[in-house]
Structure 1
Amino acid sequence: MKKNIILFVLFMSLTSYGQKKVYYTEDFKELASAKDATYYSIYQESKDGTQRTTYYLDGTIRNSDQFSNLRKHILNGESVNWYKNGNKESILLYTKGKQEGIQTRYYENGQIKRTENYKNDEFIDGKCFDQNGLEIAFFPYYVKPEFPGGMQEFYRYIGKNFKSKNNAKGLIKVDFVVEIDGSLRDFKIKEGLNYDMNVEALRVLFNSPLWIPGKVDGKDSRVKYSIPITIK
């Protein structure tokens, strides 16, 4: 009897962490089935968190990430991306959501492209290489978009152009995308005050001067950005 109880407890511990399969479009909008999907992800729960592995529909692996908290998107452990040909694109390391240690990126032929050393999410140093393995001048992998003149000028622009529609005070937080041409698109209110004040924030952002676009791996790129606007 005691042996049966032990076996039952062991069985329950092994089956309490399940798997689920989720289909996604090319821009990672969730779908109910494989129809119109580009990718699918397998979610594996464990005592350490959630392992998410994403594949193309033909079964070719795309990326694998370990989360200590999936809902809050807190990465913890190794995050690996692959090219479609099966070679690794990057191996990134995280501790409690922060980059920690050597982050390595590769060319499609398998040659190391760059290494960057981080401590507690702070960049320490790095190296860049050409496709033949020769070291070249270092440049950062990611450069944030920037308002002309910096954030001080941005908030000066907001203060000059934002017209309060009522007496509401507080924070409006807006997510958007800075396009390659510097224009702002795809606005989303993440935290707001009321309809009229939120619309005014969107109006001011939509009419913003062109930003200096962000860069990814040395190339101008569409980059997501988030801005808090405090109304006093």
Structure 2
Amino acid sequence: MLNILLKNYYMKRLSLLAILVLISSSLYAQEYFDKYWTKCSSDTAFYFVTLDKTGGNSHHIKMKYNRKFSKEYLIYKTDDFRNGECTRFRKNGDTVMHIFYKDAKRNGLFRIWKERGHLYKKAFMKDDFEDGITEYYFPNSKISARYVMEKGKVIESNFWNEDGSELDDVRLANIRPKFQGKDENAFIRWVATRLIYPPDCARLNIEGTVLLSFKITAKGYLRDVTAIKSPHFQLEAEAIRVVESSPAWTPAVLHNQVSEITVVFPVIFKKRGI
């Protein structure tokens, strides 16, 4: 008798759980879009949208970069993703970006925040191009750069230091990162001399280019080294190993601020003369 009662109890629990799953699925369905907000399959999708069908019009969106989901997410406040208001958030809930779209293109006020609520950039967009005044700000809220833009091109620029004084030499406002005092070609040579060709790949005559992405932080350190594409997983692992062992760089300067920058970097494997 007890076994029958327990069986009936668990059957009811399972039925209730199934009903809840069905209700949840009907309230929050998923759709897939490419970078231009055209519906597509999950295999080719850039945006993964969890649709809110509760009437709140607050759709949760994840993005996929280099075969991996981003830690950041978007909240879209309209049903039409090609037209509307979009806010991007970090994993911890801090705001990263706020933008308006019209016909799948950025239009209107565009703002970017860095850590701890630091408003970093404010621009005006027209059909995906910066058009008008674009400004960048230091963490103390003072302006570091102002550009007059026309269809994405710089017409005029001015730069300021963190104390509010104007930058005398504008050539110092935007500088690429340097490796041991030299350009990125010096890093290509540094990596090439330290690569150890994976024996299995050498035996199978597997060659090619591993395309890596990594960030050079404002302190000059490398982080988030990942492969964008690779001819073989062993070549990928070796390229990442060597690049991750890099000494510190001289960091980039962007808009008169020492800044983190993302670099796309090729590591070439050839059996002769690597």
TM exceeding 0.5: yes
Q: Say whether the 8 Å CA contact 1:171–1:228 is kept in structure 2.
A: yes
Structure 1 partner of 2:6:
none
> What's the counterpart of residue 237 of structure 2?
199
Q: 2:98 aligns with which of 34, 45, 64?
A: 64
CA distance in 1, matches of 2:178, 2:103: 30
Q: How far is the alpha carbon of 1:127 from its aligned partner?
A: 0.9
Correspondence list, 1:210-225, <5 A: 210-225=248-263
Residue 262 of structure 2: SS of its match in structure 1?
A: strand
Q: Distance in 1 between matches of 2:106 and 2:176?
A: 21
CA RMSD of aligned residues (A): 4.5
Question: Does the 8 Å CA contact 1:173/1:191 hold for their aligned counterparts?
Answer: yes
Shift in CA distance, 215/67, structure 1 to aligned 2, threshold 3 Å: farther
User: Percent identical across equivalent pairs?
Assistant: 20
Is 1:116 aligned to 2:147, yes or no? yes
Change (3 A) 1:199 1:96: farther
Match 1:151 to one of 184, 199, 214: 184
Structure 1 SS opposite 2:193: helix
Structure 1 residue identity aligned to 2:217: E
Aligned position for 2:197:
164
1:84-119 deviations in whole A, cap 9, x for unaligned? 9x9975322456655455312357898755311345
**What is the deviation of 1:222?**
3.5
Contact 1:50 1:69 in 2 (8 A): no
In structure 2, stretches of 5+ residues that fail to align are 1-55, 63-69
Partner of 1:128: 159
Q: Quick check: which one's strand share is greater?
A: 1
Contact 1:128 1:139 in 2 (8 A): no
2:75 to 37, 41, 54: 41
The aligned counterpart of 2:223 is: 185
SS in 1 for 2:211: strand
Q: Report the CA distance between 1:198 and its aligned residue.
A: 0.6
Higher deviation after alignment, 219-228 or 137-146: 137-146
Unmatched runs of 5 consecutive residues or more in structure 1: 1-17, 32-39
AA in 1 matched with 2:185: Q
Q: 2:260 is matched by which residue type in structure 1?
A: R
Count of residue pairs the alignment pairs up: 200
1:140–1:217 contact (8 Å) kept in structure 2: no
* TM-score (structure 2 length as normaliser): 0.53
